[in-house]
Amino acid sequence: MSHKLQQILQVTKWEFMYFFKLKQELIGKAIMLAIGLLIYFWQSTSFFEPEQYVIATPSAMNLTQLPEPLLLKRVDASKAELLTQLEQEEIDGILILQAQAGEALQFELITTGKMSWQNEVEVALTQFYSNELAQSFNLSAAQLALLQQPVSVSNQYTKDAVKETHNQSSMTAFGVMLLMLIGIFTSFGQIFVSITGEKQQRVTEQLYSCMSAQTWIDGKIFGQMLHCLKAMLSTLFSFLLAMAFIQVVVKNEALDFTMIDFAMLPWFTLFAIVGLYMATAFMAAIAAAIDDPNHSGKTGFMMIPILPIVIAFMIVDSPSSLAVDILSLFPLTAFVVMPVKMALIEVPIWQVLCALVSALLGCYLIRVAAGRLFKAGMVMYGKEPSIKDMVRWVCKPE
């Protein structure tokens, strides 16, 4: 391994570990693990040993059964007696038919508190009510099914093969974009603290005597990218855990991750990594030009990498426009516009590859510019360079 590569790895490790707090990470992961275990055991218990909820009804109606794990128990008792049984937890609920004959059916469902199975009772009762009405109108089962079928509109496009709205691809693409935003915001805070901190602690010249500015910034970018990826993965796992919790614990359903397009995910991830590199390199370069973090006017410039993502959100309604075609191949926006385009319409593979090459070219240009800005900015104390100075450093390095 070359000495330069070793230096990049050393800086990457140092940069990552500088902000990595093992104790906090362990606590966070332990909490996530506990939630995961809870979900697992809840699911196991719920599926293999289903609990039964007894709903008592004194009503004279045709409804004979409710879906599992609910059990409808017809009893010959007054409401007061049933309430006593409910208080003593002999039954889980009381269902009373309140109005009938020419009116909409009205039921009263009495429980001790808010129960997760209440919705299921309502769905079953709605089904029962529809069947009752169909019978009273002499409708057959097939006619009733037709009546309940929603209108279907099939959109056809002559120019592009537009994918259906809210498909897996778009859900995945926007998910990755949101995660990228989280990654960029993580990097924003840390790289700002890291670089301005190194300037304030006067460690920069010592580091420059060990390695080139480009080697240093490369290491810093990779270190911060690792943090971005860690933040994105943590957020993703937290989100998936939360979803699993809702599905399994709250709704008593099976785990379902079908909204993720696993076929597109590698492409989106690749573009996201390229985008993170660009954003981090850009922010590092700007941070190097900041002398006093409390009074600098340049902090706002560090948010510029958010712009391509904002643009990507804006073009969702017109994925076939000329602007999208251009932006999806432009080096500084390709990393986010192309994935969105891919999520919304079918894109030929050559365009995807062109966008990737273009984005990599953007990475290279930003890397070189950032290295030059970094070199000049990091040894400048007590005075902040103007935008003109910064442009000069990039175009005409010393």
Nearer to other proteins, 18 or 245 (CB): 18
| 345 beta partners | 162
Site for other proteins in 47-86 (CB under 8 A): none
Q: Which of 379, 386, 387, 391 binds other proteins (CB under 8 A)?
A: 379
Side-chain-side CA neighbours of residue 221 (13 Å): 29
Residue 386 binds other proteins (CB under 8 A): no
User: Which among 218, 245, 183 has a CA at the least distance from the CA of 39?
Assistant: 245
Residue 176 and residue 268 in contact, taking contact as beta carbons nearer than 8 Å:
yes
Q: Which two tokens stand for residue 160?
A: 């592009």
- Residue range at the interface with other proteins (CB under 8 A); choices 28-36, 135-143, 195-203, 323-331: 195-203
Site for other proteins in 11-30 (CB under 8 A): 11, 14, 18
Residue 207 binds other proteins (CB under 8 A): yes
Nearer to other proteins, 12 or 333 (CB): 12
Residue 211 binds other proteins (CB under 8 A): yes
In whole angstroms, the minimum distance from the beta carbon of 206 to other proteins comes to 6
Nearer to other proteins, 21 or 73 (CB): 21
Nearer to other proteins, 148 or 200 (CB): 200
In angstroms, what CA-CA distances link 337 with 166, 199, 218, 323, 397? 17, 35, 25, 10, 32
Q: Which two tokens stand for residue 345?
A: 């319409």
What secondary structure, in 3-state letters, does 237-250 show?
HHHHHHHHHHHHHH
Residue 279 binds other proteins (CB under 8 A): no
Q: Which residue has 């995945």 as its token pair?
A: 172
- Residue range at the interface with other proteins (CB under 8 A); choices 2-10, 161-169, 252-260, 319-327: 2-10
Q: Which of 40, 233, 381, 387 binds other proteins (CB under 8 A)?
A: 381
The CA distance from 15 to 341, in Å, is 34
Nearer to other proteins, 18 or 330 (CB): 18
Nearer to other proteins, 160 or 205 (CB): 205
- Residue range at the interface with other proteins (CB under 8 A); choices 73-81, 98-106, 205-213, 245-253: 205-213
Nearer to other proteins, 348 or 382 (CB): 382
Sequence-ordered alpha helix ranges (H) in the chain: 3-19, 22-48, 79-87, 118-136, 141-148, 168-200, 204-208, 213-244, 265-288, 307-314, 322-327, 334-344, 349-378, 387-395
Nearer to other proteins, 175 or 371 (CB): 371
User: Which among 279, 265, 276 has a CA at the least distance from the CA of 343?
Assistant: 265
Q: Which of 27, 123, 147, 210 binds other proteins (CB under 8 A)?
A: 210
The CA distance from 42 to 50, in Å, is 11
Residue 7 binds other proteins (CB under 8 A): yes
Residue 336 and residue 309 in contact, taking contact as beta carbons nearer than 8 Å:
yes
Residue 398 binds other proteins (CB under 8 A): yes
Residues near other proteins, by CB under 8 A: 3, 6-7, 10-11, 14, 18, 201-212, 379, 381, 398
